[in-house]
Structure 1
Amino acid sequence: MEAAMTTQRTHHVTTADGVTIGGTVHGHGRPLVFLHGGIGDGDLDWGRLLGHLTGRFTCHLPSMRGRGLSGDHPDLSPGRQVDDILAYVDSIGRPTGLVGWSAGANLALGAAARSDAVDAVALVEPAMRGQMDEQEQALIGRAVARMGELAAEGDFTAAVRAFAGGPFNDEEIAAAEDAGYFEATGRYVPHLLNLLRQVMAYEGPTAEDPAVLSTISAPVLVLHGSDTRPFYPAGARHVAGHIPHARVGEIPGAGHAAPLTHPEALATTLAEFFGAPRRSG
């Protein structure tokens, strides 16, 4: 396993609007593309899983435009980000599995709905606004507002910590704090605020729409933690209820931040799912 970890390289693709999307690549085997959440980037969000997967899979960890190894662009709309993912997947040249966490899970759904090159999808707690009740929407709204206030004061580490107080539970906040996750991701706060504004203004089809979900023919595994916010299991059931070949799974003891706090359990589940024989045709 240690030998596999030394095989890191990078992969880049240029999108139709001229943005370079880059990611680190680790291991050998069936290709999997990991899509990070709204807070971090490919390496920060998924690096803890690599030691459990690189012996069997080629793990691509691209970052969205404006993060990590990728170039920036004013257009951060969901539709454009899905275009970026499709360009990256197509450049691999082989049937590819997608793994997405939180906002990245939504993008994975959008890509799977538009690409035959995606042959299986695993989602870790997709963010489905329509599955939140008023109290839950208010919780997230307060977290976003506090992030904006702290960002305006120039304290980006505190700002991203405040935002994480929406999706993360208290134990996850402490674990992420101890691991230096907020300090590492604080630099993305201005980008995240811009991203959220564009997501809220977006009027195109979204991954929450049954009409989009019903077009996905690939097998889909939707995962949620056993100790997460109630709207994430609700979102998982919503997704699975509209995709023909989908099922829901639970990660015991995890909240929203399973890639950070439960990487071995998550990696084991992903290896079982993506290692299973795929349907042909």
Structure 2
Amino acid sequence: MTDPGTGKAAPAVRVHHESASNQPEVVLVHGTMDRSASFGPVLRQLTDRRAVTYDRRGWGRSRSSGGGTIQLNDHVQDLLSVLESAAEPPVLAAHSFGGIIALCAAARRPASVRAVVAYEPPVRWLPWWPVEAPWERVVREATPQGPAAVATAMFTAVTGRPPGPDQQRPGELEANGRSLLAEMGDPSLAEIYFDLDRLAGLRVVVGAGSESQPHHIEVARRLALLLDRGVFVELPGAGHSAHVTHPELFARLIETTR
């Protein structure tokens, strides 16, 4: 779809502004099986920062814009369209798969980004990522049972509990499962999808939780070492969903980019 006014590809996402300002200092990008609302606790910690977050394709209010043909590049283009609204280069703060999107966007337009905070980005092409990570195995084993079973298995694996009433609303698990399968099955994720050299000179904070899976911690640590201005920060007591369980620590990651 093209915007007739600009001739550019129109973003499929419905951008949700958490601030009255249209000049964000921080843009938050959520991961898989998630939506912008999960950053609410973090936003309440960033009381003096103008922040924007949005629902990515296939999730939340952008559910209808998803689909099996959506790939990483589409998500990156959506984020770049969000950056176009910023008067000054903002900080990109992202969780999990959102971290990959943020790193790709920053590598494509480093002058449009002040810094990147990437929490446990699943960078599969780094040699420290397992041939089949535990959650990848969970998805593979549940796939024959259908999308709803995939979403249930993944939610339980990540959070340690089964989906609650909100996640079990009619059609919710099915839709989440379809979007999850599309993202994790994206063939472009096996490629080298951002150039480390393009991030040279840009401050990149790579975070991981002390209670996270070992490969998430190792990949985050190694990625920070590979980056020119990369910094690794471990959040004590946190797991993969630190923005929900430890929002004050996640917010401090963002504050390190001041």
**TM-score interval, normalised by the smaller of the two chains:** 0.7 to 0.9
1:142 aligns with 2:130: no
Q: Output the CA distance in 2 between the equivalents of 1:68 and 1:84.
A: 15
Ranges in structure 1 where 5+ consecutive residues have no aligned partner: 1-13, 277-281
Which range is displaced more, 257-266 or 119-128? Answer: 257-266
Query: What's 1:100 paired with?
Result: 94
Contact 1:100 1:108 in 2 (8 A): yes
Query: What's 2:40 paired with?
Result: 47
Number of paired residues? 242
Q: Output the CA distance in 2 between the equivalents of 1:183 and 1:260.
A: 19
Partner-residue secondary structure (3-state), 2:25:
strand
Ranges in structure 2 where 5+ consecutive residues have no aligned partner: 1-5
Contact 2:33 2:59 in 1 (8 A): no
Paired residue for 2:65, among 68, 72, 93?
A: 72
Moved over 4 A (4+): 201-204
Structure 1 segment 1-281 matched on structure 2, within 5 A: 16-27=8-19, 31-43=25-37, 45-53=38-46, 55-70=47-62, 72=65, 74=67, 75-115=69-109, 116-129=111-124, 130=126, 131-134=128-131, 137=132, 139-151=134-146, 156=148, 158-165=149-156, 168=158, 172-174=159-161, 177=163, 182-183=167-168, 186=173, 187-197=175-185, 199-201=186-188, 205-207=192-194, 212-216=195-199, 217-270=201-254, 272-274=255-257, 276=258
Q: Output the CA distance in 1 between the equivalents of 2:192 and 2:73.
A: 8
Partner-residue secondary structure (3-state), 2:138:
helix
Contact 1:23 1:42 in 2 (8 A): no
Query: CA offset at residue 258 of structure 1?
Result: 0.6
Contact 1:33 1:98 in 2 (8 A): yes
Contact 2:15 2:54 in 1 (8 A): yes
Residue 60 of structure 2 aligns to which amino acid in structure 1? G
Q: Output the CA distance in 2 between the equivalents of 1:113 and 1:77.
A: 17
Contact 1:23 1:69 in 2 (8 A): no
Render the CA deviation track for 1:229-265: whole Å, top value 9, x for unaligned: 0111111122212211110001110111111211122
Q: Output the CA distance in 2 between the equivalents of 1:25 and 1:122.
A: 19
Q: Output the CA distance in 2 between the equivalents of 1:235 and 1:108.
A: 16
Q: Sort the Cα spacing of 1:204 and 1:141 in 2 relative to 1 into closer, same or farther, 3 A.
A: closer
Normalization by structure 2: what TM-score? 0.82
Residue 179 of structure 2 aligns to which amino acid in structure 1? H
Q: Output the CA distance in 1 between the equivalents of 2:196 and 2:178.
A: 31
Query: What's 1:5 paired with?
Result: none
